Amino acid sequence: MSEIYELRVNGVDYPVTADANRNLSGVLRDELGLTGTKEGCDDCECGACMVLLDGQPINSCSYLAAQAQGREISTVEGLMDRDEMHPLQTNILECGGVQCGFCTPGMLMSAHALLERTPEPSLEEIKVGLSGNLCRCTGYGTIFEAVAAASKVEKVEP
């Protein structure tokens, strides 16, 4: 049965009409057109679908969309500030942390949540913070460097 409700994504309220059993990643992608969030396993194992719910990273493939009502959902499409890329975005490119790019949106959202709660993470904290996101291309090291570099950029911001 379809339900009608609202989801707040990247600061925008969207009306949603979807079955109650739809997962959040499916609604974001198919109903709202926000395909930046990827689906790699539908089982909470790969992290490609990682979004933030009130700032906390969750696997949106395994979260019911209707349960996200009244919460603040953040996806990769909301990372840019107008036309300015987020330091995580610029640094992951400059460090070579993007290859095929399929894990990148989820990786960026996990990293974003990490830097919000731990502005100056150690390497170990970065590794733990990204351990729910699988990357098959890069070997991860350049992504660690990008997160560390972005944390330094954020630190000098007012």
Binding site for other proteins (CB under 8 A): 29-30, 34-43, 45-46, 48, 75-77, 79-80, 85, 89, 92-94, 96, 98-105, 108, 126-128, 130-144
Closer residue to other proteins in complex, CB, 136/158: 136
The helix (H) or strand (E) run that includes residue 58 is strand 56-59
Report the alpha-carbon distance of residue 11 to residue 17 in Å, rounded. Answer: 19
User: CA–CA distance from 18 to each of 13, 22, 64, 98 (Å)?
Assistant: 15, 7, 11, 33
Q: Where are the alpha helices (DSSP H) in the chain?
A: 24-26, 87-94, 104-117, 123-129, 141-156
Q: How far is the CB of 157 from other proteins (least distance, A)?
A: 19
Closer residue to other proteins in complex, CB, 81/157: 81
Report the alpha-carbon distance of residue 119 to residue 62 in Å, rounded. Answer: 28
Q: How far is the CB of 112 from other proteins (least distance, A)?
A: 12
Closer residue to other proteins in complex, CB, 70/152: 152
Q: How far is the CB of 3 from other proteins (least distance, A)?
A: 17
Q: How far is the CB of 96 from other proteins (least distance, A)?
A: 4
